[in-house]
Chain A
Amino acid sequence: MPGINSVVGYCLLLLFLLSIAACKQKDAIGQQGTLHVAVAANVQFAMQEIEQLFESETGIPVESIISSSGKLTAQIMEGAPFDIFLSADMKYGNTLYDKKMAIHPPLVYAYGALVAWTVKEDKDLKNLSKLLTDAREIDKIAIANPVNAPYGKQAINFFEKLGILDQVASRLVYGESIAQTNQYIHTGATDIGFTAKSVVLSPEMSGKGRWITLDPMLYEPIAQGVVITRHGEEKQSEASLRFIDFLFSDPVRNIFRKYGYEVPDSKPVLPY
């Protein structure tokens, strides 16, 4: 016999489904004007400020999606609804442009700097080359995966320029992105590691351990590019362009500087 319980249960289920549908609809309305910005992990701290400033100046709500550039690129290629992509280097933006998923070649919005960072008290960062080659001082060294992450690639470049790659190679561990590399360093799982300057300058990480900026002659500062995606041009043409324009304005350039980036000298020609 279908008892009173099953009737109540059925009604509850119905109510539940209806409420989901109602939420969905509300979301859809709320998000109509929202600009979706895909952001490489190293830029997330600066992006928090940029986002707020942009929202207060234009009234256009921004939603950022933070991940590694490789993942975001794969997602955009498969039609993810991101309007703008701030990548960690130029490679990913160029790939998207080649595949016609971005409407213009990437524009450099910042140059990232590399730092050596440790939470161990007794490490002498002044003499980095000596410290790194001394296996009794430093066991594991964390870098981002050099194949995917530009900051990892430049860390390798740095070791090569110093001529110590052979001595450190067996002690390297690879974070899948700059974010995981930060975890390895920050938790003390590795004795030292190489990451983006923007990370150690972020409010979340400042004061945790000690770091030193690497000599920019010993690696290539990382040119980071931004693109408007095809989705952005189709769905958010005006807002996307406004965001790009805003990205090269003086207040934003100052935010980037505050987080340890260098900024390009002049404003590029906008894509449209």
Chain B
Amino acid sequence: MDLFYQTFQLTLSLAFSATFILLILGLPIAYLLSRTQSGWKPLLEALISLPLVLPPTVLGFYLLLALSPNSMLGGFLAEQLGIKLIFSFEGLIAGSVIYSLPFMVQPIQSGFENLPGNLAEASYVLGKSKLTTLFKVLIPNIKPSIITAIVLSFAHTIGEFGVILMIGGNIPGETRVASIAIYDEVEAMNYAIANRYALVLIVFSFLILLLVYTFNKKYFRIKGR
């Protein structure tokens, strides 16, 4: 049973850490993408959306190749910085951030793009800086988009399997998250334990989604009158 809790604790800390990093990373990316007129925009957008298309195990396999101590990137990280990103919790966070990036960026970006242009203009005319406008005017107005992005990224990380399977190495307490545990127990024909993991995962995810949609609905009702 210890293993059971350990697995869920690990799954949750992975999801929280990855979502937090994604928010810090995704917000500026989404903002810049929504503002830019540059010809590079489609290229960047395509790049960020790539994880949506690639099968997760394929993405995981290339991450394994890229982060292996044999490769240039992996070797550099290990030798110069002492960071090992395969078979470690930190590596799972890195993998999850790449894998879930479109889920964070896309909703926020479309939130920004759907704001009426004169909102920011009014703020600028009143003498507010770009940064103040962003944090005091724009972001508060796209709260539902941000919440959606956070929830999608969080849920996507909880349900992540292929990437973790490839770069995790199934180490209990380090990289053995719930989705891997379920898979393992099915492989070992321990269907009862697998069911228990799956049930907890489903109930938990459902509750989170329910909470968010309830909250979002209330929010819209107040705003939309």
Output the residue of A140, A172, A187, A190 with the most chain B CB within 10 A.
Answer: A187
In the complex with contacts A173-B169, A173-B170, A187-B187 CB distance below 8 A: no
B187 touches A176 (CB 8 A): yes
Between-chain CB contacts (< 8 Å), 30 pairs: A68-B187, A70-B186, A70-B187, A70-B189, A71-B186, A71-B187, A73-B189, A74-B189, A95-B189, A142-B169, A147-B187, A147-B188, A148-B184, A148-B188, A173-B87, A173-B169, A173-B170, A174-B170, A176-B165, A176-B170, A176-B180, A176-B183, A187-B64, A187-B70, A188-B68, A189-B64, A189-B69, A189-B70, A189-B87, A190-B87
> Which chain A residue has the least Cβ–Cβ distance from B78?
A139
Q: How far is the CA of A180 from the CA of B166 in the complex (A)?
A: 8
Contact flags (1/0) for A152-195 with B, using CB distance below 8 Å? 00000000000000000000111110001001100111100000
Q: How far is the CA of A71 from the CA of B184 in the complex (A)?
A: 10
Q: How far is the CA of A172 from the CA of B68 in the complex (A)?
A: 16
Output the residue of A73, A183, A188 with the most chain B CB within 10 A.
Answer: A188
- With both chains docked as a complex, state the minimum distance between the C-beta of A258 and any C-beta of chain B, in angstroms: 29
Chain A interface residues toward B at CB < 8 A: 68, 70-71, 73-74, 95, 119, 140, 142, 145, 147-148, 172-176, 180, 183-184, 187-190
Cβ of B149 within 8 Å of any chain A Cβ, yes or no, is no
- Cβ-closest 7 pairs across A and B: A173-B169, A188-B70, A70-B187, A174-B170, A189-B68, A148-B187, A173-B87
Q: How far is the CA of A184 from the CA of B186 in the complex (A)?
A: 22
> Which chain B residue has the least Cβ–Cβ distance from A77?
B189
Q: How far is the CA of A251 from the CA of B169 in the complex (A)?
A: 38
Chain B interface residues toward A at CB < 8 A: 61, 64-65, 67-70, 86-87, 165-166, 169-171, 180, 183-184, 186-189
- With both chains docked as a complex, state the minimum distance between the C-beta of B74 and any C-beta of chain A, in angstroms: 8
Selected contact of B184 from candidates A142, A147, A180, CB within 8 Å: A147
Instruction: Collect the chain B residues with CB atoms within 8 Å of residue A142's CB.
Output: 169
Q: How far is the CA of A190 from the CA of B87 in the complex (A)?
A: 9
A173 touches B171 (CB 8 A): yes
Q: How far is the CA of A142 from the CA of B188 in the complex (A)?
A: 19
- With both chains docked as a complex, state the minimum distance between the C-beta of B15 and any C-beta of chain A, in angstroms: 21
- With both chains docked as a complex, state the minimum distance between the C-beta of B192 and any C-beta of chain A, in angstroms: 14
Q: How far is the CA of A70 from the CA of B183 in the complex (A)?
A: 10
Instruction: Collect the chain B residues with CB atoms within 8 Å of residue A68's CB.
Output: 187
Instruction: Collect the chain A residues with CB atoms within 8 Å of residue B65's CB.
Output: 187
- With both chains docked as a complex, state the minimum distance between the C-beta of A131 and any C-beta of chain B, in angstroms: 17
- With both chains docked as a complex, state the minimum distance between the C-beta of B164 and any C-beta of chain A, in angstroms: 11
Instruction: Collect the chain A residues with CB atoms within 8 Å of residue B87's CB.
Output: 140, 173, 189-190
Q: How far is the CA of A173 from the CA of B176 in the complex (A)?
A: 11
Q: How far is the CA of A175 from the CA of B61 in the complex (A)?
A: 13
Instruction: Collect the chain B residues with CB atoms within 8 Å of residue A73's CB.
Output: 189
> Which chain B residue has the least Cβ–Cβ distance from A172?
B171
Q: How far is the CA of A111 from the CA of B165 in the complex (A)?
A: 28
- With both chains docked as a complex, state the minimum distance between the C-beta of B195 and any C-beta of chain A, in angstroms: 13
> Which chain B residue has the least Cβ–Cβ distance from A73?
B189
Q: How far is the CA of A184 from the CA of B150 in the complex (A)?
A: 33
> Which chain A residue has the least Cβ–Cβ distance from B169?
A173
Instruction: Collect the chain B residues with CB atoms within 8 Å of residue A190's CB.
Output: 87
A174 touches B171 (CB 8 A): yes
B64 touches A145 (CB 8 A): no
A145 touches B186 (CB 8 A): no
- With both chains docked as a complex, state the minimum distance between the C-beta of A5 and any C-beta of chain B, in angstroms: 27
Given contacts A142-B169, A173-B170, 12 further A-B contacts (CB under 8 A): A74-B186, A145-B187, A173-B169, A174-B169, A175-B169, A176-B184, A176-B187, A183-B166, A184-B169, A187-B68, A187-B70, A188-B69
> Which chain A residue has the least Cβ–Cβ distance from B87?
A173
Q: How far is the CA of A174 from the CA of B87 in the complex (A)?
A: 9
Output the residue of B68, B87, B171, B183 with the most chain A CB within 10 A.
Answer: B87
Q: How far is the CA of A142 from the CA of B64 in the complex (A)?
A: 14
Q: How far is the CA of A173 from the CA of B88 in the complex (A)?
A: 10
Instruction: Collect the chain B residues with CB atoms within 8 Å of residue A71's CB.
Output: 186-187
Q: How far is the CA of A183 from the CA of B64 in the complex (A)?
A: 9
Instruction: Collect the chain B residues with CB atoms within 8 Å of residue A95's CB.
Output: 189
- With both chains docked as a complex, state the minimum distance between the C-beta of A247 and any C-beta of chain B, in angstroms: 25
Q: How far is the CA of A234 from the CA of B63 in the complex (A)?
A: 45
- With both chains docked as a complex, state the minimum distance between the C-beta of A174 and any C-beta of chain B, in angstroms: 4
